[in-house]
Amino acid sequence: MQMLTVDLGDRSYPIYIGENLIEQPLLEKHLKGRQVMIVSNETVAPLYLEKLKSQFSAANVDTVILPDGESFKDLEHLNLIFDALLEKRHNRTTTLVALGGGVVGDMTGFAAACYQRGVTFIQVPTTLLSQVDSSVGGKTGVNHPLGKNMIGAFHQPVAVIADTDALNTLPERELSAGLAEVIKYGLIYDAAFFDWLEANMDSLRQRDQAALTQAIHRSCEIKAEVVAQDERESGIRALLNLGHTFGHAIETSQGYGAWLHGEAVGTGMLMAADLSARMGWLCRDDVARIRDLLIAAGLPVVAPKSMTPEEFIRLMAVDKKVLDGRLRLVLMRSIGEAVVTDEVDPVLLNQTLTAESNLGQI
């Protein structure tokens, strides 16, 4: 087992990474009181719920099972968690435990942020994407029909368990979606890690446990470093949004769940790379390397053909990165170095949107 610490002063917390951790007694010491509410979904609960419950021998454990999917990440389904907490009379010392992917983690964390104005919570992410991204850093929330993650809170967990065994039951498409965020860390922060990913992508897709552990560890390490520097995203943390403004537009346009978040981010990162090249910041060879690695990871690299540049721009305009009407994007200076800019040339942006909307014109 490996352990990292997300360093946030008196809100610091550990991330445990390794094989078969769900059954190990790691979490009881992190509980605030004796009440535990495990939140999971219909897909993950049959696989891991009983194993996880066995950790909490001295606590009163209740459960909520949500339907599986991004389309249920809304206020209505969030309310199912509040219903369960109140029906079972959970008080301010309860601990919520998220067992599942990013949707379960985001919803559980947001429920914990709001229930009685804030209770303790723990993340047990079971997808690669949530292990390397959403379970670390304290961003929680739900979607609104008019925008993704528009309703939420910053609320840090007290512990995260990333069990690599859980990835053995992950569908291939979701493994690829998680790899998109892994690639992101190389692109924004660590060129050597990007090189390593080029060399090890096949092993990762074959679920080699050692390779996965290394990829998860380095990804969480980078995310923890960035979050510790900028918890509330006033500066460097925005770099973690590489590909996300384009990606959110794709997700909103297609309806939540049609494209997986990681898939949309993967294509969005390539669009950001393309635009970075048009801005004269990134060389075309690097764009090609990024594209090749995304393809090697099993990810789509072309935005939906149905999306016009106008639709992209309209949907990107409601993104949280927009400040006072000015579009802000994360772009790349080189592989391993990203920057936030609000000086995007609309003509070049339009070229990127046009190119990406048409298969093969990248």
Is there a binding annotation on residue 139? yes
Residues 98-137 as x/- pattern, contact with a second copy by CB under 8 A: ---------------xxxxxx-------------------
Question: Which DSSP letter does residue 326 get?
Answer: B
- How far is CA 91 from its chain centroid? 29
Read off φ and ψ for residue 248, nearest 5 degrees. Answer: -60, -35
Residue 237 designated active-site: yes
C-alpha–C-alpha distance, residues 180 and 262, integer Å = 6
Identify whether 155 is a catalytic site residue. Answer: no
| CA angle at 231 for the pair 341 and 128, rounded to the nearest 5° | 90
Q: How far is the CB of 232 from a second copy (least distance, A)?
A: 8
Contact 255, 71 (CB under 8 A): yes
Rounded Cα–Cα distance for residues 330 and 321 (Å): 9
Whole-number minimum distance, CB 73 to a second copy, in Å? 14
When the beta carbons of 280 and 325 are compared against a second copy, the nearer one is 325
Q: Is 261 annotated as a binding residue?
A: yes
**Active-site choice (90, 155, 184, 248):** 248
103 is in an annotated binding site: yes
Give catalytic status of residue 205 as yes or no.
Answer: no
Interactions with a second copy, residue window 316-335 (CB under 8 A): 317-318, 320, 322-325
Query: Cα–Cα distance between 179 and 186 in angstroms, integer?
Result: 11
Name every residue whose Cβ is closer than 8 Å to that of residue 149 and which is 6 or more positions away in sequence. Answer: 106, 139, 141, 142, 143, 248, 320
Q: Is 176 annotated as a binding residue?
A: no
Q: Which residues are annotated as a binding site for Zn(2+)?
A: 181, 244, 261
Name the residues annotated as catalytic: 117, 139, 181, 223, 233, 237, 241, 244, 248, 261
Q: Give the interface with a second copy as residue ranges (CB under 8 A).
A: 33-35, 75, 78-79, 82-83, 86-87, 89, 91-93, 113-118, 139, 141, 144, 146-147, 150-154, 317-318, 320, 322-325
